[in-house]
Amino acid sequence: MSADKPAILPSMLHMKCPNCRKGHMYTNKSIFPLSEMLKMPEHCPVCGQKFELEVGFFYGTGYVSYALSVALFFINLAWYWAIFGISAKDNSIFYYLITSILIVIVLQPWLMRISRVLYLYMFVKYGKGTTLNTEE
């Protein structure tokens, strides 16, 4: 990896453009207000990469969000079982389900944003996306 190429994982977690890994993908860095949580500029402010590659492109992020939610359920199962244990003899399975559902509900705004980021990273590779010529 070259010295000037930003690492992919921090770029994803900071929700940066997949093409240049420098421009912000969302107009607000925070998820609040929730009504403006998914607002994105049309193009990356740094390199000009178009964020919505085609009409309805982000409908596929529902599948990514679903996969992340299921993964959270299993991660929650692992730590919950390791700390508290889950048994069929008591109500611990219900406590686990309630805890998992609450965690997914609380993290849902972040999951929606990161699923868009992951989905776009699947289709746009670093330095190979579309750019706008600003020198003209």
| pLDDT of 68 higher than 50 | yes
Read off the pLDDT band of 135 (50, 70, 90): very low
HSE value, Cβ hemisphere, 13 Å, CA-based, for 50: 9
Q: What is the DSSP string of 56-103?
A: TGGGGHHHHHHHHHHHHHHHHHHHHHHHT---SSSSHHHHHHHHHHHH
Read off the pLDDT band of 136 (50, 70, 90): very low
Q: What is the pLDDT of residue 22?
A: 93
Q: Which residues contact 52 (CB under 8 A, 6 or more apart)?
A: 40, 42, 58
Nearest partner of 30 among 111, 110, 121, judged by Cα: 110
Q: Dump pLDDT digits (tens) for 23-63.
A: 999 999 899 999 999 999 999 999 999 999 888 888 999 99
pTM for this entry: 0.82
Token pair of 130 as six digits: 């579309």
Q: What is the pLDDT of residue 98?
A: 94
Q: How many CB atoms lie within 10 A of CB 44?
A: 26
Q: Dump pLDDT digits (tens) for 71-108.
A: 999 999 999 999 988 887 888 899 999 999 999 999 99
Residue type (1 letter), 128: K
